[in-house]
Amino acid sequence: MTQAGAIMRAWLLLGAAAIGEHAAELTELDARIGDGDHGINLDRGFSSVVERMAAADAAYLDAGGLLLLAGRTLISTVGGASGPLYGTFLLEMAGPLAGVELLEAPILAAAWRAGAAGVARRGRSTAGQKTMLDALIPASEALARGTRLVEAVQLAAAAADAGRLATVPMLATKGRASYLGPRSIGHADPGATSAALLTEALARAVIGQMGEGTEASR
């Protein structure tokens, strides 16, 4: 397996585990400003991703192939808005990563930027509307600032979490939370929270595959 494929595989597995561990919390956040299904939705989708990745025909998929499989799986198994949006995110990331064997910061930044742009297009949304984009876009900008891959993903994880926190005082103008109007203020957005968890899982996947501060992490 290529380094890029190993990192993407590790990311999807760690991401699925993080969503599973935090499913109740994500659902609780969604109960405050949505319909209380975000954790359930994503846990169902990511559990299916893990199952499909374990199948024999997925054993030799490269980075791009794994993301296509994961994206399609989320779109077909998650009922809520977040399934098609995260599915689009991963499908759009797959394009720039197709054929990439060695993941480096610039190509990961380009892939993530394409993913976030896909979410914005599909969701007809933008930063500042209290959605997953408020974590995904800062993470994208942070990835572009990193020169080494490990540094880039650590910056991205911190930026995504700051983005999650910044959704608390925001007024939701997209998705179900927008139905609440000003009552959406004062709660973290569930999608920004799951996006921060997934970004943090990416940092752990990269560090786990490369080791922090080693020659290989350049």
Footprint of Mg ion (CB under 5 A): 30, 34-35, 37-38, 80
Q: What is the Cα–Cα distance from 193 to 114, expressed in whole angstroms?
A: 20
Question: DSSP H helical segments within 34-174, as ranges?
Answer: 38-54, 63-77, 82-97, 105-123, 133-145, 149-166
Give the nearest distance from C-beta 117 to ligand ADP in angstroms.
Answer: 12
Residues 134-173 that bind ligand ADP (CB under 6 A): none
The DSSP secondary structure of 119-130, one letter per residue, reads HHHHHT--TTSS
Q: Quick check: 32 binds ligand ADP (CB under 6 A)?
A: no
Gap between the Cα atoms of 107 and 94, Å rounded? 11
192 binds, among ligand ADP, Mg ion, none (CB under 5 to 8 A by kind): ligand ADP
- For residue 49, give every residue at least 6 positions away whose Cβ sits within 8 Å of its Cβ, in sequence order, or none: 12, 16, 69, 70, 73, 74
Of 64 and 191, the one with the shorter C-beta distance to ligand ADP is: 191
Which CB atom, from 3 or from 41, has the smaller least distance to ligand ADP? Answer: 41
Residues lying near ligand ADP in the complex (CB under 6 A) are found at: 30, 34-35, 37-38, 41, 80-82, 85, 119, 123, 125, 131-133, 174-176, 189-192
